Structure 1
Amino acid sequence: MTKAHREAPPYSRAHPGVPWLIVSDLDGTLLDHFTYSHAPADPVLRRLEEHAIPLILNSSKTRDEILSLRKALDNQHPFIVENGSAIFIPVGYFPNCPAEATQHGEYWVVEPGAPRGRILEYLQQDQQTHPAPYLNFAAATTAEIVATTGLTKQQAGQAQQRDYSEPLLWQGDEQQKQAFIARANAAGFRTLQGGRFLHLLGNTDKGIATTQLKKYYQQYSDVPCQLIASGDGPNDLAMLEAADIAVLVRSPVHPPPEFTHHRLLTTRKPGPLGWAETVREILTDADIFSGPIYRK
């Protein structure tokens, strides 16, 4: 995806009478688990733009991380950060600013989650009575995050600049983890297990934010929006539940989480290759895509 970065276009329907939305996880789904490459999905991403089908990135990643990826993908659509903690909508993308949003620079921002400061304060209090069998990002060095995740130094720095959540690299046993989760839930927080980290955040998730954003699209459509959601981990399940079509992307490192849905597809291949193949098949069957997708 090498096109020059464009100004955010206003939302337009993808197809006469059938507005499609695609919401996607990143790591292990649209990005390769090992290399973080999106190259296998690029032909489908180009076709989505040609048909004006919004691709909404919905990840545990931070605002700065997703902004970098959106630039690389030439993506101009709303996005959801830190496991559903905040929704960023380019100013002017919809005809009106959502009532729940506040403007921060170039974005209307809706914040279903909790500020990171309150989360870190809770962790500090919890550690006073319960030893911390985990490494959290706020206490980690950039070098430790690089070694743990395989991110570059720049990417690791972006991952540390969190606003709404705290990733924990769990180092204790399962009993300790479940006890920690119970204490966090009782204090009004939520935990989500990602591919590598246990994420501590406010009382939200990817599904809550996805449903809220879908309502904004629906306000400007005279027919029901059809939502495709894709992910590979337990923290994606709420997002998949909110979808009309759920795509469970195979992982090269763990089996698919147990999940049932009235329209569930599990990819044959892992990562962005499986994502692209399945999304292409869905939209071809719906008569949205036609003709060869791989072009010279």
Structure 2
Amino acid sequence: MTKVLIIFTDLDGTILDSETYSYQKAVPVINILKENQVPVIPVTSKTRLEVETLRQSLQINDPFIVENGSGIFVPLDYNHLTLPKSNQGAGYHLHRLGCIYSEARQGLEKIATILNQPLRGFGDMSEAEICQLTGLSSQEAKQAKAREFTEPFLTPKKVTPERLNEIVQDLGYRIVVGDRFCHLLDAGAGKGKAVQWLVDSYQSAQPNAKITTLGLGNSPNDLEMLEAVDLPIIVPGNKGIHPGLSGKGWQVAPAPGSQGWAEVVRGVVLRKMGL
């Protein structure tokens, strides 16, 4: 039986260092994975344009999951999956789990009405304002604004996460609550669902293969992805494991960021595939 390893990975604070966003320490391991046709699949809240920039830098051509599991992009020249010809465009097959961006914007307006307070999403902000709030460059802010499925918005003050979740669920959405920003997405979307769809697609393309999935993340936003894989691994921050991921009994990378990512992936690949 053929053994297949698939790696799903968060980006910020995982394969990318949290402060410098460098991935250099992971490059030698990524090259080994490419040489042995092990897919490295980003699973992120970032947009397609943001992920495309990273994929070009890393020279990887595997599928990727964007905007918290709302969209799965598979390059049309990717030969390891057999997908229907529908939903093709811009060089990809798109499998959409979430709503489109205009629907997310409409949802944000409804939430603001129910709360009786204005809510400011990326669609309400200039690139300069996003730069100021996030520390992104002008080009990075432009890419971050290029939403296709979800809407990040400033986390409202004096509203509990429980109340916010109650409202969005009643409207048919879900929310990822952060300290500074929340992300509004369709109730049908999610990192775990997106990972499972891709795994099923790989299995359909290779019905006799034994597929093992590895997932790496650093925050509670990665929880669904980590629960969906065979080998979940937590990448710690500079101050250790995020409290929201503690107590899971999962393997922890030996160092933060790209160094920890590289060391733990190398160990798993060596153990699983003898590379």
State TM-score, norm by structure 1: 0.85
Match of 1:190 among 174, 177, 188: 174
Alpha-carbon displacement from aligned partner over 1:269-295 (angstroms, at most 9, x marks no partner): 111111111111111222432xxxxxx
Residue of structure 2 equivalent to 1:60: 45
Alpha-carbon displacement from aligned partner over 1:102-146 (angstroms, at most 9, x marks no partner): 111311110011111111112112222314475421112212211
- Against the structure 1 CA distance between its residues 253 and 149, is the aligned structure 2 distance closer, same or farther, given a 3 Å change threshold? farther
- Partner SS, residue 59 of structure 1: coil
- Please say if 1:258 is aligned against 2:242: no
- 1:274-289 residue pairs with structure 2 within 5 A? 274-289=260-275
Distance in 1 (CA, whole Å) between partners of 2:34 and 2:117 is: 46
- Please say if 1:178 is aligned against 2:162: yes
Q: What percent of counterpart residues are identical?
A: 33
Residue of structure 1 equivalent to 2:216: 230
- Against the structure 1 CA distance between its residues 196 and 38, is the aligned structure 2 distance closer, same or farther, given a 3 Å change threshold? farther
Distance in 2 (CA, whole Å) between partners of 1:134 and 1:161 is: 19
- 1:1-296 residue pairs with structure 2 within 5 A? 17-94=2-79, 97-99=82-84, 101-132=86-117, 135-173=120-158, 175-193=159-177, 197-203=181-187, 204-221=189-206, 222-252=208-238, 255-256=241-242, 257-258=244-245, 264-289=250-275
Alpha-carbon displacement from aligned partner over 1:197-240 (angstroms, at most 9, x marks no partner): 32110121111001001111112221221100111111111110
Distance in 2 (CA, whole Å) between partners of 1:70 and 1:50 is: 16
* 1:125 aligned partner, one-letter code: K
Greater helix fraction, Structure 1 or Structure 2: 2
* 2:209 aligned partner, one-letter code: V
- Partner SS, residue 219 of structure 1: helix
Q: Which runs of 5+ in 2 are unaligned?
A: none
Residue of structure 2 equivalent to 1:12: none
Distance in 2 (CA, whole Å) between partners of 1:96 and 1:71 is: 21
Runs of 4+ in 1 over 6 A off after TM superposition: none
Distance in 1 (CA, whole Å) between partners of 2:179 and 2:79 is: 33
User: CA contact under 8 A between 1:241 and 1:261: conserved in structure 2?
Assistant: no
* 2:186 aligned partner, one-letter code: G
- Partner SS, residue 83 of structure 1: coil
- Against the structure 1 CA distance between its residues 253 and 101, is the aligned structure 2 distance closer, same or farther, given a 3 Å change threshold? farther
Distance in 2 (CA, whole Å) between partners of 1:44 and 1:28 is: 17
- Partner SS, residue 151 of structure 1: coil
State TM-score, norm by structure 2: 0.91
How big is the alpha-carbon RMSD for the aligned residues of Structure 1 and Structure 2?
2.2
- Partner SS, residue 160 of structure 2: helix
* 2:183 aligned partner, one-letter code: H
- Partner SS, residue 19 of structure 1: strand
